[in-house]
Amino acid sequence: MSSKYEGFPAVAYSGLWLLKTFGKLRRQFPDLKIDIVFFVTDAPPATLIKIDKGDFEIELLENVKDVKDLDNVECDAYLALSTDDILGGINSIIDGVAEKRIKMKNPSALGILGKILSVL
């Protein structure tokens, strides 16, 4: 594991590290190659999660200060939401998307985003 992250990036890293260590990441996403950005709007920086056939890499995006900055990031999908929405669970996230307080790129990736969030 790594102590170089804190906040959401640390949670993401820890969860994905455990899944990789026990082989579940490779079993759940054997052929998946995707770059997803999670931006917790009240706890920057944004976190780029790269998943590639059962392995992962995390990168902090210090240059992302606002939701508008996400349009300049090369990624397959992004999700920008508040800590309250994360803590509120899936219903809060669904409501946030419907109410447009949660910003998202590539809604078709919602299933993958859901699987990743469920393991964190």
In a domain, 24, yes or no: yes
Give CA angle at 10 (9, 14), nearest 5°.
120
Q: Which amino acid belongs to residue 69?
A: D
Q: What is the CATH number of the domain that holds 39?
A: 3.30.1050.10
Domain assignment of residue 27, given as a range: 8-119
The domain total for the chain is 1
Residue 52 is assigned to a structural domain of this protein = yes
Q: Which pTM does this prediction carry?
A: 0.86
Angle at 40 between CA 36 and CA 44, to 5 degrees: 100
Does 2 fall in a domain?
A: no
State residue 21 phi and psi, 5-degree precision: -60, -40
In-domain check, residue 15: yes
Q: Specify if 1 maps to a domain.
A: no
Residue 46's beta-bridge partner residues?
61
- Helices 89-98 & 110-119 angle (0-180, nearest 10): 150
> Per-residue pLDDT tens for 14-65?
888 988 999 888 888 889 899 999 999 999 999 999 999 989 999 999 999 9
Q: Is 36 part of a structural domain of the chain?
A: yes
